[in-house]
Amino acid sequence: MSTQFADQVPFSELMRKQSEVADKAAHGKGVLLRRRNEEDLVLMSAAHAESTANGFSVASRMFVSLMKHDAGARELLMVLPDVFPWVRYLPEEDVREFLVDLVQTINACDDLENLAPLEVAVAAWRSTAEVYADPKLRAALTEGELDDLGQVEVC
């Protein structure tokens, strides 16, 4: 994420030099505010944030529409390994299921204006590919009978 921002400053600099940091944020892609023991923050102009969100929305709607209506666009299955190299370890049926899930999740994320579910979906499919890629792990997870191990406590 840090490579997206030309300007990176310690969070304390925002406190000391508010105008300078705000000017950097207003005239660029945003400023990455580094924090020691916390997650970094991003400061950017509202116009830039809205433009980014609108760009994602347009791209996702075009992508979803192409997948629904253009038979040629379905050849995306062929290029999917370029974007997600780990799909090579998934069975063919799972690759198709991943693509459908990806399209539906992108569409839903756009509607919710929240990209977090997309990250979760991709991470889940990547984990599935990791299981298929490791014969020992796959055997451990699929061989033998799996009994109900009981109730799980949620903290």
Tens digits of per-residue pLDDT, 63-89?
A: 778 777 777 766 777 888 999 999 999
CB atoms within 10 A of CB 60: 20
The distance in angstroms from the start CA to the end CA of the chain is: 31
Q: Which residue has the higher pLDDT, 97 or 70?
A: 97
The number of residues making up the chain comes to 155
Residue ranges, CATH 3.40.1620, the chain = 2-44
Distance, CA of 83 to CA of 64 (rounded, Å)? 17
Indicate if the pLDDT at residue 140 is higher than 50: yes
Indicate if the pLDDT at residue 1 is higher than 70: no
Q: What CATH class has 2-44?
A: alpha beta
Q: Which segments of the chain are extended strands (E)?
A: 7-10, 31-34, 41-43
